[in-house]
């Protein structure tokens, strides 16, 4: 800035006023300053400028991956909600690893953002202390409850999976496979959605058949859904319904069923979870659980923005918030029509 001031023949304060949009600058002075900026290739140090005001206008978003449709679409919703509040977002995929998630909490570029929206998948309950007193506002997204000292925006995993299973049971299906089981110890989506599945069965007096459990430890992607479906069918168990723990798994399972000559929904009815865009355009169109993704994104961004504004004013943070989005089952062609 001093170099720009010297080139333009003005003070550094005048350069700062021009770059900040201060209105009471003579046009000729403004032109000289902007010409000097162009000649010298000067770039505003946004971090330093905003450090004095207490905010950079940038927030972080750490999610397991963007290749999984749910997280990609969630990121899009968060970006839109942030733009509406004049916030920029830096997205960091953590790779479903503990190392990646810890890095998102402490890496050097953390200093470049005001706060963090964080969707952990590999951290466990013993890590709760790591999320408290970080020195910056944090809003948790997702399933792990961790700590009541941290803001948390989540979904109704148990209720959603139970509603999906009940839909199939109401249609007379009794041999319902579940696709997306994980051996990982974290109490995340798989654990909660399996609980909803088992609760629905138990309410009808049905036991869990181990042959109907489709494991997908390599990730909730289409290919793993197809492989898990194949593994279930190879046991020889009769299958007349499928509850998949996300839509990508459901689409893979539908592919495998159709390759094997099973008609959907006549022979096997299928329900997914997440209501990703692809679910509407599969053949047949996929019945799924909408977990309230837009509500999650908008509420989380608004909550973080509110925390940041309070911090900039020097106010003490209020009590941590737990917000659970509403869910609904969206019935499409992959399940029988209810009369």
- The side-by-side arrangement of strands in the sheet containing 176-181 is 213-215, 176-181, 241-244, 269-273, 287-290, 328-330
Q: What secondary structure letter does DSSP report for 328?
A: E
For residue 85, pLDDT over 90 is answered with: yes
Q: What does 226-294 look like in DSSP terms, one character per residue?
A: HHHHHHHHHTT---SEEEESSHHHHHHHHHHHHHTT--TTTT-EEEEES--THHHHSSSPPEEEE--HH
Asked if residues 165 and 243 have their Cβ atoms less than 8 Å apart, the reply is yes
pLDDT of 135 higher than 70: yes
CA angle 92, 81, 54 (to 5 degrees): 70
CATH match for 157-290 among 3.30.56.10, 3.40.50.2300, 3.20.20.140, 3.40.190.10: 3.40.50.2300
Is the Cβ–Cβ distance between 248 and 222 less than 8 Å? yes
The CATH number of the structural domain formed by 2-44 is 1.10.260.40
Share of the chain above pLDDT 70, in %: 91
- Beta bridge partners, 176, equal 241
pLDDT above 90: residue 129: no
Kind and range of the H or E run holding 71: helix 69-83
Mean pLDDT calculated for residue range 277-300: 98
Mean pLDDT of 120-130: 86
pLDDT tens digits, one per residue of 232-241: 999 999 999 9
Q: Each residue of 15-49: b (16+ CB within 10 Å) or e?
A: bbbbbeeeeeeeeebbebbbebbeeeebeeeeeee
Please determine whether the domains at 58-155+293-328 and 157-290 fall in the same fold group of CATH: yes
Residue 139 and residue 153 in contact, taking contact as beta carbons nearer than 8 Å: yes
Confidence of residue 312 (pLDDT cuts 50, 70, 90): confident
Please give the angle made by the CA atoms of 129, 133 and 138, to the nearest 5 degrees. Answer: 95
Average pLDDT, the chain: 90
CA dihedral 174, 178, 183, 189 (to 10 degrees): -120
Cα–Cα distance measured from residue 2 to residue 50, given in angstroms and rounded to the nearest whole number: 18
Q: What percent of the chain has pLDDT over 90?
A: 69
pLDDT score recorded for residue 107: 59
Q: CB–CB of 113/89 below 8 Å?
A: no
Please tell me the predicted confidence (pLDDT) of residue 20: 62
For 141-160, write each residue's pLDDT tens digit.
987 666 788 999 999 999 99
Report the pLDDT value the prediction gives residue 108, as an integer from 0 to 100: 44
Residue 112 pLDDT: 75
Q: Rounded to an integer, what distance in angstroms lies between the CA atom of residue 143 and that of residue 186?
A: 10
Domain ranges of the chain: 2-44, 58-155+293-328, 157-290
Q: What pTM was estimated for this model as a whole?
A: 0.82
- Taking residues 19-41, report their average pLDDT: 81
Q: Which CATH architecture has domain 58-155+293-328?
A: 3-Layer(aba) Sandwich (3.40)
């Amino acid at each position: 800035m001093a170099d720009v001031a010297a080139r333009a023949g003005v003070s550094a304060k005048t350069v700062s006023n021009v770059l900040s949009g201060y209105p009471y600058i003579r046009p000729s002075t403004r032109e000289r300053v902007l010409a000097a900026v162009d000649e010298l290739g000067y770039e505003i140090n946004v971090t330093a400028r905003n450090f004095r005001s207490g905010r950079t206008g940038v927030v972080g978003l750490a999610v397991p991956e963007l290749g999984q449709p749910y997280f990609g679409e969630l990121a899009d919703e968060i970006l839109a909600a942030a733009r509406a509040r004049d916030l920029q977002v830096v997205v960091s995929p953590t790779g479903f690893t503990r190392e990646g998630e810890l890095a998102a909490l402490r890496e050097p570029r953390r200093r470049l953002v005001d706060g963090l929206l964080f969707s952990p998948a590999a951290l466990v309950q013993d890590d709760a202390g790591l999320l408290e007193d970080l020195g910056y506002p944090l809003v948790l997204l997702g399933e792990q409850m961790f700590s009541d000292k941290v803001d948390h925006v989540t979904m109704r995993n148990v209720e959603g999976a139970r509603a999906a299973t009940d839909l199939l049971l109401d249609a007379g299906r009794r041999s319902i496979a579940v696709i997306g089981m994980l051996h990982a110890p974290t109490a995340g989506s798989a654990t909660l959605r399996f609980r909803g599945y088992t609760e629905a069965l138990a309410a009808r007096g049905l036991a869990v058949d181990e042959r109907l459990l489709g494991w997908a430890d390599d990730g909730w992607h289409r290919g793993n859904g197809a492989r898990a479906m194949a593994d279930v069918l190879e046991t020889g168990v009769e299958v007349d319904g499928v509850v998949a723990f996300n839509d990508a798994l459901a689409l893979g399972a539908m592919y495998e069923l159709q390759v094997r000559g099973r008609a959907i929904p006549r022979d096997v009815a299928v329900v997914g979870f997440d209501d990703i865009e692809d679910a509407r355009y599969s053949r047949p169109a996929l019945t799924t659980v909408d977990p309230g993704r837009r509500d999650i994104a908008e509420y989380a961004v608004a909550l973080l923005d509110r925390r940041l504004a309070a911090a900039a004013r020097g106010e003490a943070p209020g009590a941590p918030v737990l917000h659970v989005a509403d869910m609904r089952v969206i019935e499409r062609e992959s399940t029988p029509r209810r009369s």
